[in-house]
A and B are shown apart, each in its own frame.
Chain A
Amino acid sequence: SQQGEEDPQALSIQEGENATMNCSYKTSINNLQWYRQNSGRGLVHLILIRSNEREKHSGRLRVTLDTSKKSSSLLITASRAADTASYFCATGSGSGTYKYIFGTGTRLKVLA
């Protein structure tokens, strides 16, 4: 079963614009991770945010976490055609189990 759901399911923007993707989950978590996946490839880790953190940055990426709303967002600023990919959130929960459950993904297309 999927823990998280990304929203929107698909997003198409022009190069240079910002892209925002949201992830909602159902149960309490220890941390949340965002991944990128190019078509037919493995997943590339982007950012891990812990439950006691509210915001993290990495280059053009900004992730926020609101545990009271059980949601997270991923912002990609100044998008590039190379950002075209599917983006997934994965939640880790449980005492020491760290079984990561993935959402359904947002398919981002950046038009040059």
Chain B
Amino acid sequence: DTGVSQDPRHKITKRGQNVTFRCDPISEHNRLYWYRQTLGQGPEFLTYFQNEAQLEKSRLLSDRFSAERPKGSFSTLEIQRTEQGDSAMYLCASSLIQGFSGNTIYFGEGSWLTVV
């Protein structure tokens, strides 16, 4: 079990640049989530996929943010025209749907973004 993998782990970028994060979920997991976390706060939901379908997007996900999960495998989160307020840790998680009452979600180590 290789766990959820995120890349890069750290990214420093200048304001206005575009950045892309990649997430490789646990194999056979059909759900994939993106969260954002700032210092001292809990993770905030951004979006999630079931297979390749993006089922929900948070209002936090402005039009500068886009997420994809082609073929229902890895996912990318792209931030265009970065702003200093985008500085945060971006967390990816995955889970396997089993029944109605819920399932464990497993997180990666996160990708730190610093916008200077």
Contact = CB atoms under 8 A, between A and B. Distances in A.
Interface of A: 2, 30-31, 33, 35, 40-45, 48, 50-52, 88, 90, 92, 96-105
Contacts of B109: 41-42
B56 A97 contact: yes
A50 B98 CA distance: 13
Interface stretch (B13-21, B64-72, B100-108): B100-108
A42 B105 contact: no
Given A2-B42, A30-B100, 15 more contacts: A30-B101, A31-B101, A35-B107, A40-B112, A41-B110, A42-B107, A42-B110, A43-B93, A44-B107, A45-B106, A48-B102, A48-B103, A97-B56, A98-B97, A102-B45
A100 B45 contact: yes
Given A30-B100, A33-B105, A42-B109, A98 B95 contact: yes
A48 B101 CA distance: 10
B91 interface: yes
Contacts of B74: none
The 7 closest A-B pairs by CB, nearest first: A31-B102, A102-B42, A42-B109, A43-B107, A42-B107, A50-B101, A102-B43
18 contacts: A30-B101, A33-B105, A35-B107, A40-B112, A42-B91, A43-B107, A45-B106, A51-B101, A52-B101, A92-B102, A96-B100, A98-B95, A99-B48, A99-B56, A100-B33, A102-B35, A102-B45, A105-B41
A96 B45 CA distance: 16
B55 A97 contact: yes
Interface in B72-116: 89, 91, 93, 95, 97, 100-110, 112
Interface in B4-63: 4, 31, 33, 35, 41-45, 48, 55-56
A99 B110 contact: no
